[in-house]
Amino acid sequence: MKDQAAKLRLLAKKMNINPEEPRVMQAKKRIRVITIASGKGGVGKSNIAVNLAIGLTRLKKNVVLLDADLGLANIDIILGIMPQYNLSHVISGEKTVKEIVCNGPQGLNVIAGGSGMHKLANLSDSELDSLVKELNSLEEYGDYLLVDTGAGLSQIVLSFILAAEEVILVCTDEPTSITDTYGTIKTIRQHGYEDKINIIVNRVKNNEEARDVYNKLQYASKKFLNCCSLEYLGAVREDNQVGQAVRNQKPLIIGAPHSKAGQDIYRIAMDLSNSRGPSNLSKARRFFNKFADYFRQV
Ligand SMILES: Nc1ncnc2c1ncn2[C@@H]1O[C@H](COP(=O)(O)OP(=O)(O)OP(=O)(O)O)[C@@H](O)[C@H]1O
Ligand SMILES: [Mg+2]
């Protein structure tokens, strides 16, 4: 008996499990949190976030998509859903986070931001703490948490970026978008962000054009910011089916999976799901706690 207990302890040690911990704690999964942001607005973040999220669910991942756009939350419109509740109901204490998670297509979990995000700015310390406690329960939802942010680097956007271990910056080939993306990299580095920065170049003719944009960003980031953590995640081609999908309120990857942009985003979803993600993958709990800390600081 004694021998068997010792064996179990050894096995638990190998698997990095504390045998004294309750089972429910052991069952908790780590969640890969990816914040999607940009320098200049209107570059395609929300469309990429929505279709990437559905792409990942197709790859059998459990995904939560959080609409963190302060001003013009529009994920629900792109998805063609009408969430009854949003974060403001959690902030006011009317609902729990679990009660506001809404079912999107193909098993996607969606949290609508709406006016809730606006209210975040006026929360007292204790209100922010209880919101964070609530958001921590998202940990049970699974593999990925994608956070779609609004245009520009507001306090909220910056905090969501700094708290995540992975960020995707969406950029186009317009010079203003490239300089704004560089500006964003500079600001987040100045705030101490040292993790991976993935770049998606949207609305391009082809992969070469996107690579060219990435190379410019990489060169400037290395030379002036000593930042070597930029990674090319892929190109999404200019495609009028994107606008059509929004007008139909049917996500591109569902309504037009063979469209150029649909294929590109699905390929990026596959690459993401095949990559290991950060080695120090944290629990949602850590993400939201970090978010609150940065939110108070910046
Ligand atoms: N690959 C693409 N091809 C053609 N049009 C696109 C493409 N990607 C995005 N668009 C169009 O660009 C516009 C802005 O897209 P979207 O709302 O996703 O940008 P955003 O970065 O989320 O904007 P905001 O900063 O306001 O949140 C939309 O009209 C969308 O249809
Ligand atoms: Mg948007």
Annotated domain spans of the chain: 30-297
Distances (CA, A) of 120 to 24, 56, 69: 31, 29, 11
Q: What is the mean pLDDT of residues 178-204?
A: 95
How confident is the model over 59-76, as pLDDT tens digits? 999 999 999 886 676 899
User: Helices 45-58 and 240-248: crossing angle, nearest 10°?
Assistant: 80
Which segment of 153-162, 206-215, 248-257 scores lowest on mean pLDDT?
Answer: 153-162
Q: Does 172 contact ligand 1 (Cβ within 6 A)?
A: no
Q: How far is the CA of 78 from the centre of ligand 2 (A)?
A: 10
Q: What is the mean pLDDT of residues 156-167?
A: 90
User: How long a stretch of residues is the chain?
Assistant: 298
Strand 230-237, strand 109-111: pairing: unpaired
Confidence band, pLDDT 50/70/90 cuts, at residue 30: confident
Encode 108-159 in three state secondary structure: CEEECCCHHHHHHCCCCHHHHHHHHHHHHHHHHHCCEEEEEECCCCCHHHHH
Question: Are 118 and 112 contacting, i.e. CB atoms less than 8 angstroms apart?
Answer: no
pTM of the model: 0.88
DSSP state of 38: -
Contacts for 286 with CB less than 8 Å, ≥ 6 apart = none
- Torsion from C-alpha of 15, 18, 23, 24, nearest 10 degrees: -100
* Residue 197 in tokens: 């920065």
* Residue 275 in tokens: 């990559």
Superfamily of domain 30-297: P-loop containing nucleotide triphosphate hydrolases (3.40.50.300)
How confident is the model over 262-290, as pLDDT tens digits? 999 999 999 999 987 776 655 566 788 88
Q: Does 43 contact ligand 1 (Cβ within 6 A)?
A: yes
Q: Does 251 contact ligand 1 (Cβ within 6 A)?
A: no
- For residues 257-272, one letter each, b for 16 or more C-beta atoms within 10 angstroms of the residue's C-beta and e for the rest, the string is bebbbbbbbbebbeeb
